[in-house]
Copies of this chain bind each other. A is one copy, B any other.
Amino acid sequence: MAKKKVPSMVKDQQLIQRRREQMVKGAVALFKQKGFHRTTTREIAKESGFSIGTLYEYIGSKEDVLYLVCDSVYEEVRNRLESLLTNETVGLDRLKQVIQSLFKVIDDMQDEVLVMYQEAKSLPKEALPYVLEKENAMTAIIESAVQTCCKEGHLELSEQEIRMFAHNIMVGGHMWTFRRWSLQKEFTLDEYTSLQTRQLLYGVVQENIKVDEKF
Contact residues of A with B, CB < 8 Å? 35, 37, 92, 118, 121-122, 132, 135-136, 139, 154-157, 160-161, 163-165, 167-168, 171-172, 175, 179, 181-183, 186-187, 191-192, 195-196, 199-210
A205 contact from B37, B192, B195, B201, Cβ within 8 A:
B201
From A179, which residue of chain B is reached at the shortest CB distance? B167
Q: Assembly of this chain: how many copies?
A: 4
Q: Once the chains bind, are B201 and A204 in contact (CB under 8 Å)?
A: yes
A199 contact from B192, B203, B208, Cβ within 8 A:
B203
Do A208 and B208 contact each other (CB < 8 Å), given the known contacts A118-B118, A132-B181, A136-B182?
yes
Cβ–Cβ < 8 Å partners of A171 in chain B: 171, 175, 179
Cβ–Cβ < 8 Å partners of A165 in chain B: 199, 204
From A165, which residue of chain B is reached at the shortest CB distance? B204
7 A–B pairs (Cβ distance < 8 Å), ordered by A: A35-B121, A37-B37, A92-B205, A118-B118, A155-B206, A156-B206, A200-B204
